[in-house]
Structure 1
């Protein structure tokens, strides 16, 4: 793994201050943008305006869009949408099954869906909604008060990766309390704060600490498997100023730490809760709970470094490596990342609320990220957001259709967008 390039760091810093913006707000001539701020040459439709609280998405080979819902609709946690007349808008909608755990994936003809404690799979049979009963793949994922959403990724050879977030900010003796020291070792890392691996085909598996694949990840349900590698984007910690006002200003707390993009290998340790990533200094540093002062590195030199970093508190929700041919070669093999938007960047304006594109080359982030679906299209009020509740739309999930279209879910506005490239 490599650390960030100077250009990527500069872009990250500028974006955090609101000075960096890429992409255009105009749609291609002759098509609509559905209100999204898209690069030139792209169009969008509101594929569904009534999709409940959609989180992660998956699209079947026949074009049916499946959704894991944060809240049940008609007593069910999953939804299926189909556009039968090919006008970019779903005209069939049906709910089924259990959801509420965010994660959703399709692999080898099966739809995998997460609840907070379980992973199920449904055999796709060509119908709008699978007709058979689901198979129970994993049970016993920990019940927890926070960071309970699951992300899913599946490798070509059938490994199922599931995130298990830590129900804590920094593993303090008293969570989120001013001056409370960090527990060392952190007992939460025994059962939380990492990625667990299972078989995607074996039924009746149970959560066990020893099946952990990687650790030291506070909360990461933005997961994708691409070209033989697992990738994920982490939610960084909060409250540096409110918990340690003698060491960090409000301004520092608003812009620290960065959200980190990682390549994840078996046995990796990424440093939570002991460390956080400072993009300006280009290094992981010790958290104040563990004797850090904003500069001291200590044990943090031994943990995995990010491939790229993004502004603090943007809240990464999903990552999708694009391998379709609908957007042109420029986007082939790069990653789209959906950011939900911040809640704790005061005194700076709240930020995030967008989908970015991160170029990749040879498994590494290559160059600056760009806004793909910019914040102005999601907030409904331009770039500035006074509070999270004032954003009309908040990106939550990403999926690629068989025609190369990009689907974006919005759990605040109950909308699913379909983005396509205009015909030449």
Structure 2
């Protein structure tokens, strides 16, 4: 169904794109390139240069990895040097990685000889001018979705077109229509996405404030800012799925088809409050408490005298305050021991204004079929030194096709691979 919708979308894309109005002169060339790709026409864009995978940077990263602590039987290696690496999407066919950034590029990572080390890293679709293309996700039939700050694009059969500068592309949400242009901000703009069991695309939209003013709440609720929206593959039938979320940069679906997500808590309330959140959405329309709650059951100063909405959903687990929990994934592989299967791995980016830094590690929480989770605990750590220096800041986690765990680091500019070499019983 998703493929059929996108095929129809691509067939009429050129006409639709041209009907959307003339872009500003300074961006017209790039917009024209996108229109050409929608119509399967060449942009005459030169191939993008490869990112070097050897040299001082790679050597320095491996030196850092030698300091990382893992449970017995696990090891961590450098999988790829990828500048500004953020969200990871693993191709369902060949395991090609697509890596989003908060800059202007999406990267492809290819391991051709399957030795579990990347052979080639280069920018994807270099003819397209991306703007904060942090969110990347795949459908089961191989359609890649890229969510920018205020636009959504899709790329059918991305794993098979990615090697050429010109790729099949579709405009899902045009520039300026994901959120109102008036609400664009430099803050909390890293979108993330997942294609759900229902075939719809789910997108988390962070709101730009630490705590928004009351006059913003109706507008944000209407558009899903500070929430999660969902839509069909072609962008139609958009609806707000969840509200009351400050800034989620990590969402994933559990085996029972419920949507789980991390949420970053309110700043400026002290080192030890409020806690970070791991949440579970079981149906559309749920409210998760922000801005009345700053994290967990801690009320915000700004809304402490106001009555929260009825039926606010509490987090299923609280996370260390200000550790900046971002990407998460349910472990669906078979390489790791059974105690990890079905559990949740979470990437902590690390605190930015805490008097004593915390985070920059991978957390793990066992999860049951009943939706309950055990206490999250460190799984991989060592990127934060005892002197408070960050040797890396982790962003996302994803399961490679062989069952190993991939981890992105936007400070080091790398993708790591954690594998298990013991008895996986």
**Structure 2 length normalisation: TM-score?**
0.75
* Counterpart among 44, 47, 52 of residue 79 in structure 2: 47
Give the CA deviation at 1:345.
Answer: 1.6
> For residues 59 and 99 of structure 1, do their structure 2 counterparts lie closer, same or farther at Cα, with a shift above 3 Å needed?
farther
Within a 5 Å distance, the mapping from 1:260-271 to structure 2 comes to: 260-264=277-281, 265-271=283-289
Which segments of 5 or more consecutive residues in structure 1 lack a partner in the other structure? 1-31, 173-181, 241-252, 279-283
Is the Cα contact below 8 Å between 2:394 and 2:409 reproduced in 1? yes
User: Is 1:67 aligned with 2:99?
Assistant: yes
Equivalent position of 2:153 in the other structure? 120
User: Is 1:83 aligned with 2:111?
Assistant: yes
User: Is 1:199 aligned with 2:232?
Assistant: yes
Give the CA deviation at 1:301.
Answer: 6.9
C-alpha distance in structure 1 between counterparts of 2:416 and 2:222, whole Å = 39
C-alpha distance in structure 1 between counterparts of 2:336 and 2:330, whole Å = 13
Equivalent position of 1:151 in the other structure? 192
User: Is 1:354 aligned with 2:361?
Assistant: yes
Is the Cα contact below 8 Å between 1:317 and 1:337 reproduced in 2? yes
Q: Which has the higher strand share?
A: 1
Which segments of 5 or more consecutive residues in structure 2 lack a partner in the other structure? 1-63
C-alpha distance in structure 1 between counterparts of 2:74 and 2:291, whole Å = 41
Is the Cα contact below 8 Å between 2:142 and 2:159 reproduced in 1? no
Give the CA deviation at 1:419.
Answer: 0.9
User: Is 1:229 aligned with 2:266?
Assistant: no
User: Is 1:276 aligned with 2:303?
Assistant: no
C-alpha distance in structure 1 between counterparts of 2:272 and 2:133, whole Å = 29
Is the Cα contact below 8 Å between 2:79 and 2:414 reproduced in 1? yes
C-alpha distance in structure 1 between counterparts of 2:221 and 2:322, whole Å = 22
Is the Cα contact below 8 Å between 1:194 and 1:217 reproduced in 2? yes
Within a 5 Å distance, the mapping from 1:13-412 to structure 2 comes to: 34-49=66-81, 51-60=82-91, 61-72=93-104, 77-97=105-125, 98=130, 100-107=132-139, 108-124=141-157, 126-127=159-160, 129=162, 132-139=167-174, 140-142=177-179, 143=181, 144-145=184-185, 146-172=187-213, 183=215, 187-191=219-223, 192-200=225-233, 202=234, 205=236, 211-227=239-255, 228-240=257-269, 253-264=270-281, 265-278=283-296, 284-292=297-305, 298-299=307-308, 302-346=311-355, 349-374=356-381, 376=382, 378-379=383-384, 381-382=385-386, 384-385=387-388, 390-412=389-411
Is the Cα contact below 8 Å between 1:82 and 1:128 reproduced in 2? no
Give the CA deviation at 1:111.
Answer: 1.4
> For residues 185 and 409 of structure 1, do their structure 2 counterparts lie closer, same or farther at Cα, with a shift above 3 Å needed?
closer
**Structure 1 length normalisation: TM-score?**
0.75
Equivalent position of 2:6 in the other structure? none
C-alpha distance in structure 2 between counterparts of 1:258 and 1:47, whole Å = 32
> For residues 125 and 169 of structure 1, do their structure 2 counterparts lie closer, same or farther at Cα, with a shift above 3 Å needed?
closer
C-alpha distance in structure 1 between counterparts of 2:189 and 2:65, whole Å = 34
Give the CA deviation at 1:183.
Answer: 4.9
Is the Cα contact below 8 Å between 1:55 and 1:70 reproduced in 2? yes
C-alpha distance in structure 1 between counterparts of 2:298 and 2:84, whole Å = 37
C-alpha distance in structure 1 between counterparts of 2:310 and 2:229, whole Å = 24
Q: CA RMSD in A?
A: 2.3
C-alpha distance in structure 2 between counterparts of 1:262 and 1:36, whole Å = 28
C-alpha distance in structure 2 between counterparts of 1:299 and 1:215, whole Å = 13
Is the Cα contact below 8 Å between 2:362 and 2:379 reproduced in 1? yes
Identify which of structures 1 and 2 has the higher relative contact order when contacts are C-alpha pairs closer than 8 Å and 6+ apart.
Answer: 1
> For residues 285 and 48 of structure 1, do their structure 2 counterparts lie closer, same or farther at Cα, with a shift above 3 Å needed?
closer
